[in-house]
Amino acid sequence: MVSADGAGLRTVFGIYRTDLSPRPKEVGAIFVKTNYMILTFQDLLDALNKGDIVINPIAPGAIGTNSIDVRLSKFMCIYEPELEGNLEVIDAAKPCNVRYFEIPENGIVLEPGEIYLGSTMEYTETHKHIPVLEGKSGVGRLGINIHATAGFGDLGYCGHWTLEIFVLQRVRVYAGMPIGQISYHVPKSMPEVGYMQRKASSYTDAHDPKPQPSRLYRKLNANNS
């Protein structure tokens, strides 16, 4: 059995299970005891009521069994590469040129081979939990990916989430459509300084839903100075 504080959960290569009985097919796998916990429906309600989690606005029916749905805002942007000889190049060590636009009422067709920066309609805050953003299953089944690498959020983050959207085939998307789901995880301990207070944090000004392009150049230039 699993205790109320989550002790006794085991993980095999990042997959958590509550059944602690051995399985023949997992002979040789390494099991690790952990205090890992994820908030489920009532926990999410409690955290929202206490203000430990903020989702604004929150859609009707957005709270699921162990995550909260978020929707695609109307704001998007794409990178405009610079010419280096005959090649169009995005330079990670320089501020990126982007073109902002809004999704019209009849939607917009996303093209393969392009990365679109979108954002969540919802403004979020997380003060005691680690947020993790993943795509909705219905979105994934259309060949839409909503993040290239940055699905893992920071404890203390306040703002709209920027989405790194790319598609495997042409897909029409709409502002306001369900795009992702955020799950909330209980940390082993609290950091001394939250994300918004850390000097090294790059995206502390996401107070409006316009997506934010990469700011990796700041760290690259700081390391080279």
Give the residue numbers annotated as catalytic, written as ranges.
164
Chain centroid to CA 129: 14
Strand segments (E) across 64-193: 68-71, 75-79, 82-84, 87-89, 98-102, 108-110, 116-119, 123-126, 130-135, 144-145, 158-159, 162-167, 171-173, 178-185
| Sign of the dihedral defined by the CA atoms of residues 29, 33, 34, 39, in that order | positive
Residues 6+ apart with CB under 8 A from 50: none
Query: What SS3 state is found at 49?
Result: helix
Q: Is 176 left (phi over 0), alpha (psi -120 to 50) or beta?
A: left
Residue in the block written with tokens 């939990």: 129
How far is residue 43 from each of residues 132, 142, 153, 166, 193, measured CA to CA in Å? Answer: 16, 31, 19, 32, 24
Residue type at position 53: I
Longest dimension (CA), the chain: 64
Query: What SS3 state is found at 143?
Result: coil
